[in-house]
Chains A and B, each alone.
Chain A
Amino acid sequence: MGLAKRIIPCLDVDNGRVVKGVKFVDIRDAGDPVEIARRYDAEGADEITFLDITASSDNRETMVHVVEEVASQVFIPLTVGGGIRKVEDIRRMLNAGADKVAINTAAVFNPEFVKEAAEKFGSQCIVVAIDAKQVSDNPPRWEIFTHGGRKPTGIDAIEWAKKMVGYGAGEILLTSMDRDGTKIGFDLALTRAISAAVHVPVIASGGVGNLDHLSEGVTKGAADAVLAASIFHFGEYTIEEAKRHMAKAGIEVRL
């Protein structure tokens, strides 16, 4: 027995409310991030990730309150991503009770920001989020995209992951933009390639449609953690079911 592979539910939060629908039969307020986080905690989530998709900076303050509220009730690691552009953004989230922040676009436009953040707060709380899309088949190659997968950057995903770890990223949150929302499973080749290229943990994201996909992320993608949103939000599966399924596949999980 040893270190467990982690299951991380992800919540998209817009102006303090969970969007993309969460349907639990017995939940009073399906848009309340605090109530949903508590539910996931009770089901055995290993961590929870909040993605702040609020467009206006005025409303970002709301996310700070959400984190404060969740952190006083849920005692597992919390990660916040979305709109983390300055050292001050990180400080506010950590002070509110977040354990890690995920830096995405800001890392692409200003890689030094990752270095500065890791030096200031420690690598353990700096997650670099990578949105990658396959750009060629043979040999397979993936590039970094920004703005929700719309803007290509020409940057090779594997080289980028190595560079970010060199700059102090303590973890990589890897999303396949080809698979995101498709429910056909992770891009396993991409996940495996990134996981082999870096010495820090890699979280696989994008494409989970069933519990086998979660297991494959670990067994075939060599991911250290798997992240999913919709399969948990819509009550298709509980996190406990997901863990039992992974355990049956021979994966070590926290039950």
Chain B
Amino acid sequence: MNTVAVIDYGMGNLHSVAKALEKVAEGTKVIVSSDPDVVRKADRVVLPGVGAIRDCMAEIKRLGFDELVREVINNKPLLGVCVGMQALMDFSVENGGTDCIGILPGRVEFFGDDLRDPRTNERLKVPHMGWNQVHQAIDHPLWRGIADDTRFYFVHSYYVEPANPGLIAGSCDYGFSFTAAVTRGNVFATQFHPEKSQHAGLALYANFLKWDGE
């Protein structure tokens, strides 16, 4: 039986992620684990995350998941979600500057306290919270069956800025165009929460469970 492991590092709402994966599992077994050896044996891996990056990175490192992520991306698909996406980058400006896992080159930046709509000059609230449209930058198996510009649910104050625009799989407008999804090789990661994005989110998870990477 195929398995997908949701990395449990004590932070964030991994239960929602696990429940959404179970909903579309169709024969794939969903495992939630804080043991790198268990996660290592799964066919696919999900790195979720909410909350502050410093605390997330501290637990990821303490449990050895930074090493595990570097290792598994060589041979199996990995999906990062929200802070789980940010954690894949080199560095985040959050919490006075936090080093991340660094498997994707780039930084995590702050939306700022005075974000404005460039057309109307209207102030935009931070966190960016709610349903916004995701423009698919590339064709990718994880976008299969999902219309371009479909709305997904976001909640975040920081966003990923990849060093190489070639990593961008999707973008979203909030004051400017920011990166909503990245991909390289076996890795796909979203700033939005598929587990909270109703049909479109479940479709993306179902696609991930069918994706063999690369």
> Which residues from chain A sit less than 8 Å from chain B, CB to CB?
1-6, 41, 46, 71-72, 75-77, 94-97, 99, 119, 121-125, 170-171, 199-202, 224-225, 254
Q: List 24 A-B contacts (CB under 8 A).
A: A1-B149, A3-B124, A3-B174, A41-B198, A46-B130, A71-B15, A72-B22, A75-B19, A75-B23, A75-B196, A75-B202, A77-B196, A97-B13, A99-B13, A99-B16, A123-B127, A123-B157, A124-B127, A124-B155, A124-B156, A171-B129, A199-B113, A200-B125, A254-B131
Query: Which residues of chain A are within 8 angstroms of B125 by Cβ–Cβ distance?
Result: 199-202, 224
- Asked if residues B129 and A224 are in contact (CB atoms below 8 Å), the reply is yes
14 more contacts with CB within 8 A, not counting A199-B113, A201-B130, are A3-B130, A5-B130, A75-B20, A75-B195, A75-B196, A75-B197, A76-B198, A94-B13, A97-B15, A99-B16, A99-B196, A124-B50, A124-B129, A170-B127
Chain B residue nearest to A41 (CB atoms) is B198
Query: Which residues of chain A are within 8 angstroms of B52 by Cβ–Cβ distance?
Result: 119, 122
B15 shortest CB reach to chain A, Å: 5
Distance between Cα atoms of A6 and B131 in the complex (Å): 8
Q: Which of B128, B129, B156, B157 has the most CB of A within 10 A?
A: B129
CB interface residues, B 42-94, toward A, < 8 Å: 50-52
Query: Which residues of chain B are within 8 angstroms of A76 by Cβ–Cβ distance?
Result: 153, 196-198
A-B contact count (CB 8 A): 100
CB interface residues, B 12-39, toward A, < 8 Å: 12-13, 15-16, 19-20, 22-23
- Asked if residues B127 and A2 are in contact (CB atoms below 8 Å), the reply is no
CB interface residues, B 112-127, toward A, < 8 Å: 113, 117, 123-127
A102 shortest CB reach to chain B, Å: 14
Contact check: which of B151, B153, B157 meets A77 at CB < 8 Å?
Answer: B153
Query: Which residues of chain A are within 8 angstroms of B196 by Cβ–Cβ distance?
Result: 75-77, 99
Distance between Cα atoms of A97 and B113 in the complex (Å): 30
**Ranked 9 nearest A-B pairs via Cβ:** A122-B51, A254-B131, A4-B131, A124-B155, A3-B132, A201-B125, A254-B151, A72-B19, A77-B196
Query: Which residues of chain B are within 8 angstroms of A3 by Cβ–Cβ distance?
Result: 124, 128, 130-132, 154, 174
B212 at the interface (CB under 8 A from A): no
- Asked if residues B51 and A201 are in contact (CB atoms below 8 Å), the reply is no
Query: Which residues of chain B are within 8 angstroms of A125 by Cβ–Cβ distance?
Result: 13, 50
